[in-house]
Amino acid sequence: MSGYGMANAERAQPVLTAREAGLVGCAECGHVFPIGTETCAVCGTHLVSRDIASLQRVWAWLFAGMVVYIPANVYPMLRTSTLGTTQESTIVGGVVDLIDHGSIGVALIVFVASVIIPVSKFIAIAYLAIRVQRGLPGTASHFHLYEFVEFIGRWSMIDVFVVAILSALVQLNFVATINPGIAAVSFALSVAFTMISANSFDPKLIWDVPPKGKPV
């Protein structure tokens, strides 16, 4: 911490980026090379100063994730059969059941992981991508939003695992049986697609100030 932490005091002065210095930095290992170098000599990664094309991948995966999120909420996630009666529950239905059982804390975990996180991820990724496309230079808080989205996305898988565990565990023939519903597949896909979308985003784009002469 010491020594380098003090550098924050100098934050007011503008930061020199590798691109402004005529260099390209490796996104994997950080080593720098003259701009135009194709491959990193240290780790072999393909070098791109700014991956503008990444935005297309970001949008494509984001839309795919949003589309499969719809059936994930409409169709049942779980089919529970107890003593001859079958009950189907969707994602939100499962949360309501948990509240009825009095497990407010667990209901909250499932609701945050399956509804709040996916929906805010859609909004956050789209917001950051639109900002970059409009040429608006971002601040540290935009970057932290990106980091948070990248970190939190995988936790949405909780509900898929819950369904897998319940279906494996509760197989007591007539007394009680739990089976997965089709929504489990669409939900897993939605989480995976948005994770790929966030991973495709080149965070260096967030910081960039558009070249001079172009209207901001």
Partner 1 sequence: MAYQTGMTDSLSDMIACPKCDALHRVPRVAPGEQAKCVRCGTVLMAPKEGAMTRIVMLSVTALILMVAAVFFPFLELSVQGLGTTSSVFDAVLAFSDGLMLPLSFAVAALIVVLPITRFIALIYVFAPMALGWAPARRAKDAYKLAERIRPWAMAEIFIIGVAVALVKVAGLAQVTLGPAFWAFVGLVIITMLKDNFMCRVTVWQTLNARSPS
Residue 98 makes contact with partner 1 by CB under 8 A: yes
- Neighbour count for residue 44 (Cβ, 10 Å): 10
Running DSSP on this structure, what letter comes out for residue 201? S
Residue 91 makes contact with partner 1 by CB under 8 A: no
How many Å apart are CA 52 and CA 85, to the nearest integer?
55
Is-contact 170 178, C-beta < 8 A? yes
Amino acid at site 134: R
Residue 68 makes contact with partner 1 by CB under 8 A: no
Interacting residue with partner 1 among 10, 211, 212, 214 (CB under 8 A): 10
Query: Which residue, 158 or 215, has its beta carbon nearer to partner 1?
Result: 158
Which region among 60-68, 116-124, 127-135, 179-187 touches partner 1 (by CB under 8 A)? 179-187
Which region among 53-61, 67-75, 128-136, 185-193 touches partner 1 (by CB under 8 A)? 185-193
Interacting residue with partner 1 among 74, 91, 101, 119 (CB under 8 A): 101
Shortest distance (Å) from residue 202 CB to partner 1: 10
Residue 132 makes contact with partner 1 by CB under 8 A: no
How many Å apart are CA 48 and CA 40, to the nearest integer?
10
Residue 209 makes contact with partner 1 by CB under 8 A: no
CA gyration radius for the chain? 23
Residue 21 makes contact with partner 1 by CB under 8 A: yes
The residues pairing with 81 across neighbouring beta strands, listed in sequence order, are 86, 177
Q: Is 39 helix (H, G, I), strand (E, B) or coil?
A: strand
